[in-house]
Structure 1
Amino acid sequence: MYVGRVDAAVIISHSSIETKQLSTSQLRRIYTMRQTTWANGQAIVVYTLPSSHPVHQEFTKKELKIFPYQLDKMWIKLTFSGLAKPPIKVNTMEELIDAVKSTPGAIGYVNQNASLDGLNVIAMEAK
């Protein structure tokens, strides 16, 4: 279990992704499985931490502007309706970083003090 302090979540993607900035609505479309490809047509592979993880809670509240339980409900509804597959859940930030690094098209999020070498960092658009 992650016991560090959560300062802010940072959005990361595979190094091949050229996107440098996303709006809240674009990020929400990706994490609610409504946007499934990047601008270049490459499939988006979404990675997430468990709902109880402090970094996941910070990410959903601050970046997606929804509560973790609301995101879980959306994933369940999309999965059972057959409209989408849920994101790939990993247990730790280290697993998430490794998965994003090794999966073309991948996106994820980590605590801002995590090592981001070999990853593309995606900024959120200013409002």
Structure 2
Amino acid sequence: MKTLAWLFTALLMLGTPLLAAENDPVLLIGHPGLPPIDADTVERLYTGRSIEVAGTPVTVVNAAGGSALRRRFLATWLRTTDERYGAYWTVRRHVGKGAPPRELGGGSAEMIDFVRATPGAIGYIDAAELRPGLNVIARP
């Protein structure tokens, strides 16, 4: 019985960080100098219906397709799934209405580096990845 209790406790402790990451809000970060934006603007940018913020051309980037961060971003900010988002961009590209945002596969660190280094860049991170000096432009 003690072994079972110990095993249950160990599993609970190992799973806690994973649950915390899944529940962290997804924050939108922008290149320094970009102003705060609202949820409607986030949706327009990530669906290709807008390409600028306050007169500044922007480059939006996505986490890798299928990643937990991207699924949470899409559910929170665009109220859709990764599959529907991919289908949306397949149709949009087919009719000549643009291409989906670039995907970064290196996790939050690559997203942060890209946004810091690229004028007009917008990306997203887990709230747990927030670091001093990042320009948070939208919170859920």
Do the two structures share a fold, i.e. TM-score over 0.5? yes
- 1:53 — aligned with what? 67
Output the amino acid matched with 2:85.
L
Identity %: 28
Using a 3 Å threshold, how does the CA distance of structure 1 residues 117 and 81 change in structure 2: closer, same or farther? farther
Deviation at 1:27, TM superposition (A): 1.2
- 2:38 — aligned with what? 22
In 2, are the aligned partners of 1:101 and 1:118 still within 8 Å (CA)? no
Which residue of 106, 110, 113 maps to 2:121?
106
Higher-Rg structure is 2
TM-score of the superposed pair, with normalisation by structure 1: 0.84
Counterpart secondary structure, 1:113:
helix
In the alignment, the residues of structure 2 paired with residue 115 and residue 65 of structure 1 have an alpha-carbon distance, to the nearest angstrom, of: 23
- 2:100 — aligned with what? 86
Corresponding pairs, count: 120
Output the amino acid matched with 1:95.
E
In the alignment, the residues of structure 2 paired with residue 123 and residue 64 of structure 1 have an alpha-carbon distance, to the nearest angstrom, of: 13
Deviation at 1:54, TM superposition (A): 0.5
Matched, 1:119 2:130: no
In the alignment, the residues of structure 2 paired with residue 117 and residue 81 of structure 1 have an alpha-carbon distance, to the nearest angstrom, of: 42
Unaligned runs of 5+ in 1: none
Residues 27-78 of structure 1, C-alpha deviation per residue, up to 9 Å, x if partnerless?
1111001111111x22110110112111111111012111121111122222
Output the amino acid matched with 1:48.
N
Deviation at 1:93, TM superposition (A): 1.4
- 2:28 — aligned with what? 11
Unaligned runs of 5+ in 2: 1-16
Which residue of 66, 75, 84 maps to 2:80?
66
In the alignment, the residues of structure 1 paired with residue 47 and residue 136 of structure 2 have an alpha-carbon distance, to the nearest angstrom, of: 20
Which residue of 30, 37, 40 maps to 2:52?
37
More helix by share: 2
* RMSD (Å) for aligned C-alpha atoms: 1.8
Moved more, 114-123 or 43-52: 114-123
In 1, are the aligned partners of 2:26 and 2:139 still within 8 Å (CA)? no
TM-score of the superposed pair, with normalisation by structure 2: 0.77
